[in-house]
Amino acid sequence: MHRTKLSAVIIIISIFFITEPSSASSWVNFPTSWDIGQAFAISITSTADYSQPMVTWMNRTIALNVEQGGAGKISYGLLGSDVRSIKPGNYKILFEFIQNGKKYRASGNIKLRARQYPKENLSVNPKMVNPPKKELKRIQNESAAIKSALKTMTVPRKWTTPPQPPLSVITLTSTYGKSRVYNGQPRAGHNGADIRAVTGTNVRAPFAGTVLLAGFHYYAGGSVYIDSGNGVITAFFHLSKILVKKGDTVTKGQVVAKSGATGRVTGPHLHYSLILGGQFVDPIPLLSTSITKMLKNGEPQQVN
């Protein structure tokens, strides 16, 4: 560039910053395409403070936090889509926040791609495929309690990445997303990962949080659900022993239960689910990554 032109550009830029000292620049970050069933990271970041950051995805509005980082201030979120209910296609994501008394909205589309998850045939106790009539009420009540627990939306963020692996050795016996045929009858796909564990193995909380639900359920057996803020919930099934109760605060890595073989199982193992804004996603990839790395899959888009 010619020297005089360059000076002119510098002068114009300087004037802009001198005359607009309170202007803020903000961005949202999200991946424009992603696989169904896999977790992804989103963020809002700004050079100036803002409040009430929120993201709406799959009909759920998730409250975020404002923290130090990024361009100055940053809000982190983890989202995903449930392989059992979400079809490939374009889905809208909406970001909102308030800055200098003004409400900002930024929306975009995320193209969700199909992913081939394997199928598996399992043999279980017949009453776990077609439950006896006397158990139907119990199953209904448990399903209502779980549905309501999964609507929990709290701040602040208590989750930090990578999570604490729930067991000290992670050997998968069944992966997330498998469509399942029990005793020849098709049922909903696998909403988590099964990890090898002899009965009585310590199960650790992946994130700090609050126990949402703890008890023995018909299908899932001994179950613990932990809320870690911003719609991030983890759950363990088929436990032999539960060491926490609803409302307890847990720290990251705290032993919350002992693994077992209760509920609809073919043998002892730990079932681990990760639920993001109500969507059950594959919990395993997150064990070996961080929010910072995940955000690199996104494309920043300027809001102001």
245, 257 contact by CB (below 8 A): no
Kindly tell me which of 35 and 194 has the beta carbon lying closer to Zn ion: 194
41, 297 contact by CB (below 8 A): yes
CB-nearest residue to Zn ion: 271
Q: Extract the tokens encoding 255.
A: 């032993």
289, 162 contact by CB (below 8 A): yes
26, 97 contact by CB (below 8 A): yes
Stretch that binds Zn ion, among 76-84, 218-226, 265-273, 274-282 (CB under 5 A): 265-273
Minimum CB separation of residue 197 from Zn ion in Å reads 12
Stretch that binds Zn ion, among 36-44, 120-128, 224-232, 264-272 (CB under 5 A): 264-272
Query: What's the rounded Cα separation, in Å, for the pair 60 and 5?
Result: 50
Residues 109-138 that bind Zn ion (CB under 5 A): none
Kindly tell me which of 194 and 282 has the beta carbon lying closer to Zn ion: 194
Residues 195-214 that bind Zn ion (CB under 5 A): none
Residues 226-245 that bind Zn ion (CB under 5 A): none
Residues 135-154 that bind Zn ion (CB under 5 A): none
Minimum CB separation of residue 192 from Zn ion in Å reads 5
Kindly tell me which of 22 and 121 has the beta carbon lying closer to Zn ion: 121
Binding mask 157-196 for Zn ion (x = CB under 5 A): -------------------------------------x--
Kindly tell me which of 66 and 265 has the beta carbon lying closer to Zn ion: 265
Stretch that binds Zn ion, among 90-98, 201-209, 270-278, 279-287 (CB under 5 A): 270-278
Kindly tell me which of 96 and 194 has the beta carbon lying closer to Zn ion: 194
Kindly tell me which of 73 and 238 has the beta carbon lying closer to Zn ion: 238
Phi/psi at 105 (5° precision): -125, 135
Total residues in contact with Zn ion, by rule CB under 5 A = 2
Stretch that binds Zn ion, among 32-40, 54-62, 243-251, 267-275 (CB under 5 A): 267-275
Kindly tell me which of 190 and 204 has the beta carbon lying closer to Zn ion: 190
Nearest by Cα to 300 from 49, 96, 44? 44
Minimum CB separation of residue 87 from Zn ion in Å reads 23
Between the alpha carbon of residue 71 and those of residues 17, 74, 107, 255, the distances in Å are 16, 7, 20, 37
Query: What's the rounded Cα separation, in Å, for the pair 235 and 240?
Result: 14
Residues 66-85 that bind Zn ion (CB under 5 A): none
Between the alpha carbon of residue 170 and those of residues 38, 96, 148, 167, 287, the distances in Å are 19, 38, 30, 6, 10
Query: What's the rounded Cα separation, in Å, for the pair 114 and 137?
Result: 35
Kindly tell me which of 63 and 274 has the beta carbon lying closer to Zn ion: 274
Query: What's the rounded Cα separation, in Å, for the pair 207 and 36?
Result: 24
Residue 271 interacts with Zn ion (CB under 5 A): yes or no: yes
Q: Burial letters for 205-240: b for 16+ Cβ neighbours within 10 Å, e otherwise?
A: bbbbbbbbbbbebbbbbbbbbbbbbbbbbbbbbbbb
Minimum CB separation of residue 190 from Zn ion in Å reads 6
Under the rule (CB under 5 A), what is the footprint of Zn ion? 194, 271
